[in-house]
Amino acid sequence: MTEPNRFDVPLPGLHIGHPVDDVATPALLIDLDRFEHNLALAASLTTPHGVSLRPHAKAHKCATIARRQIAAGAVGVCCQKLSEAFALAGAGVSDIHLSNELADARKATLAAQLAAQVKLSVCVDHPESVRQLGVAAADAGSRIELLVEVDIGQNRCGVSTVEAMLALVDEIATHPSLSFRGLQAYHGGVQHVHGWQQRRESAQQSAARAAQFVAALEQRGLRGLTVTGGGTGSIEFDVASGVFTEIQAGSYALMDRQYGELEWRDSFRPAHALHLGATIMSTPAADRVICDVGLKSLTVDAGLPSLARDHNAPALTGWDYALANDEHGILRRAPHHSSHEAPAWGSRLRLIPGHVDPTVNLHDAYVCHRGGRVEAVWPIEARGMAW
Amino acid sequence: MTEPNRFDVPLPGLHIGHPVDDVATPALLIDLDRFEHNLALAASLTTPHGVSLRPHAKAHKCATIARRQIAAGAVGVCCQKLSEAFALAGAGVSDIHLSNELADARKATLAAQLAAQVKLSVCVDHPESVRQLGVAAADAGSRIELLVEVDIGQNRCGVSTVEAMLALVDEIATHPSLSFRGLQAYHGGVQHVHGWQQRRESAQQSAARAAQFVAALEQRGLRGLTVTGGGTGSIEFDVASGVFTEIQAGSYALMDRQYGELEWRDSFRPAHALHLGATIMSTPAADRVICDVGLKSLTVDAGLPSLARDHNAPALTGWDYALANDEHGILRRAPHHSSHEAPAWGSRLRLIPGHVDPTVNLHDAYVCHRGGRVEAVWPIEARGMAW
């Protein structure tokens, strides 16, 4: 819906093979060595243990990353919105689980059309949605696999009783164009429990709740079903649970400040692969400098960004990102910090965003670097795909 | 940098002349009657009183809105980022003040090139930026008007002493390709002071600080300069100050929850013209329903969205948007609310976002409606233009 822009200007200094620190800012950067480390790590924790990895593309919205994840052993990806699924399918991703509900007959029609072109499954938690999808798939001559979402403590979507789950399974069975593939059981709150041991206990409790739903299905003779869920914070516990057949972790590929601050153990310690490149654009006071990354380049719903200490100049030691305005970040020096050096006007820094998913959704492309040089630019095809 | 998408699908139900409530959600909606009311209101408070209105395009990022504001009497617009200025210039906006500093020689070069095509002014608060712009404009054969940003209490960018201001004025004078146009004096904190009387006093204090800088320029014989600043919260006080020659208000055109909650008087009471259309996509509990608008469709840096009471069904009385997840909004019913009715699965609602600027930056287009029907779709050309 955007008009062609007569004055379109590319990001200054962005050239393959040139130094990444020459790229004008704000710029969304991926450290490829760390990214590849994270992909290999998640693959090694899942597939060899008989559990599928189906990374959540809501965390990166990028077909190149989705293809890289599948090449590293993932069975496909999750999308959270139908338009996101269309964007990734259009860029060649052919196995998508829509890990969310649809409540619009037009969207059901489009889902049925998409299911004729790629392998598609969709979540349901309401009988009317099942009926809409059943009619739409019959009309399109396609088949949609449905997963019933069950609430294992997240208190968001999903049915909370075995009876409601079975009613949906029965409804699905009345539609020849639909098939029941299993359950989605996701608890976002578990992902962010700080302590490793406490997080393990929370994940075990969630898995136990999911197991109750699975047991009720087994009593009906329904076996070998998919149970999809889990995330970056609980991946190793979900694999060990014996309940989940498929893990939906998303943030692990790029990471963010929020996840990075959790307690990790050596068994799974993803690296910060995502940064915001920023520039000091104003140096008005000895204890205050201003950078060019604000609320339109990162989001603060999970708190302020941190400074990537391993990437930044010594002059930034003792400084923190203290306040985000729309287009500015205000950095302040800690009062006790004794250095007389201050970041120079025009100097660069790297920030770790608080929350990867909504931050990525602000940008059109990743600038991917290795060894200090730009190696690739990956479009974020599903940026802004909100319906 | 985005690839053409083979499966591109337009927002379902979006057709000119059709009911706006048929448009699939999430959708960013403009009520055109209210928008036009707001434009006329701001024009009536400024231009007839000898003060120019230069609306801030950072709040809407849309060339159509910029053109409508100029047609209603504005002298031009402000942009906060150079890429934003390029996007709007490319869509026909020909008078732009870049109300922010540049700290990159490549950006100075691009600004000089843009200044050869449209009327462009730029803020400075550092001598090196003046030098970069002077060299770039000389190379491009263009002329850039500079405004020195002075800090009147915002504690963000800008020089805080008369001496520093005069040093920049002197530096500008050494570059034949540059001209000194005046001062930018903006205090964002004043805009959000709740009480009308307290806000007036804060605005008067800010204007008094700006007047000290103006007086020092007048002592140097510099008269008739631009003094640009002010905003939606202080517009009537800034006009009355006798200090500001140009008002940069931006949010007034569309408004948001944060501004709407201030105390207003009849002299200036802009209307909520911007809503997020949402759909109830899950109804898991009697006191909890889930809508399809979360952190990827609105931002919460200024708090959660409110429900637009004048647009929503009676079933939503007593409900609030209680929690924003990435793609979900969790609505809860107040405990004391006695209604037995609950919002129906698949029903629609309208939300007022907490903060217009970063929310608009998430979307590619406005769906504009009047009398319940879609009248136009306006592209948001500067969406994501962050550098």
pLDDT tens per residue across all 387 residues of chain B: 344 456 888 999 999 999 999 999 999 999 999 999 999 999 999 999 999 999 999 999 999 999 999 999 999 999 999 999 999 999 999 999 999 999 999 999 999 999 999 999 999 999 999 999 999 999 999 999 999 999 999 999 999 999 999 999 999 999 999 999 999 999 999 999 999 999 999 999 999 999 999 999 999 999 999 999 999 999 999 999 999 999 999 999 999 999 999 999 999 999 999 999 999 999 999 999 999 999 999 999 999 999 998 878 888 889 999 999 999 999 999 887 766 678 999 999 999 999 999 999 999 999 999 999 999 999 999 999 999
Cα of first residue to Cα of last residue in chain A, in angstroms, is 15
Contact B80/B101 with Cβ under 8 angstroms? no
Contacts of A290 in chain B (CB under 8 A): 156-157
Nearest CA-CA partner of B34 in B272, B319, B355? B272
Distance, in angstroms, between A18 CA and closest chain B CA? Answer: 15
Once rounded to an integer, what is the mean pLDDT over residues A179-189? 97
3-state secondary structure A151-164: CCCCCCCCECCHHH
What distance in Å separates residue A130's CA from the closest CA in chain B? 13
pLDDT of amino acid A3: 47
ipTM: 0.96
Structure tokens belonging to residue B149 = 């940003």
Task: Select the residue of A158, A284, A357 nearest B157 (Cβ to Cβ).
Answer: A284
From residue A352, how far is each of A61, A66, A69, A260, A307 by CA, in Å? Answer: 18, 22, 22, 9, 6
Tell me, what's the pLDDT at B309?
84
Cβ distance of A104 and B12 shorter than 8 Å: yes
Q: Residue range A86-105: average pLDDT?
A: 97
Rounded-to-integer distance, Cα B225 and Cα B219, Å: 13
3-state secondary structure of B117: coil
Contact B285 A160 (CB under 8 A): yes
Contact A158 B282 (CB under 8 A): yes
B24, A387: Cβ pair inside 8 Å?
yes
- CA distance linking residue B386 with residue B253, whole number of Å: 21
Nearest to A104 by CA among B351, B281, B18: B281
In this structure, the number of other CB atoms found within 10 A of the CB of residue B77 comes to 30
Residue-wise pLDDT for A215-253, tens only, equals 999 999 999 999 999 999 999 999 999 999 999 999 999
Answer whether residue A1 shows pLDDT above 60: no
A292 contacts B103? CB cut-off 8 A: yes
Provide, as residue numbers in chain B, all residues whose Cβ is less than 8 Å from the Cβ of A6. Answer: 90-91
| HEC letters along chain A | CCCCCCCCCCCCCCCCCCEHHHCCCCEEEEEHHHHHHHHHHHHHHHHHHCCEECCEHHHCCCHHHHHHHHHCCCCCEEECCHHHHHHHHHCCCCEEEECCCCCCHHHHHHHHHHHCCCEEEEEECCHHHHHHHHHHHHHHCCCEEEEEEECCCCCCCCECCHHHHHHHHHHHHCCCCEEEEEEEECCHHHHCCCCHHHHHHHHHHHHHHHHHHHHHHHHCCCCCCEEEECCCCCHHHHHHCCCCCEECCCHHHCCCHHHHCCCCECCECCCCCEEEEEEEEEEEECCEEEECCCCCCCCCCCCCCEECCCCCCHHHCCEEEEEECCCCEEEEECCCCCCCCCCCCCCEEEEECCCHHHHHCCCCEEEEEECCEEEEEEECCCCCCCC
* Nearest Cα to Cα of residue A272 among A239, A307, A297, A303: A307
Question: What's the Cα-to-Cα distance from B105 to each of A12, A281, A370, B85, rounded to whole Å?
Answer: 10, 12, 25, 17
How does the average pLDDT of chain A come out, rounded? 96
A293 pLDDT higher than 80 = yes
B290: which chain A residues are within 8 Å (Cβ-Cβ)? 156-157
Place of tokens 């790590």: A41
Mutate to test the interface with A, among B1, B88, B151, B191 (most CBs of A within 10 A): B1
pTM: 0.97
Nearest to A248 by CA among A225, A229, A235, A263: A229
Ramachandran assignment for A356, one of left (phi > 0), alpha (psi -120 to 50 degrees), beta (any other): alpha
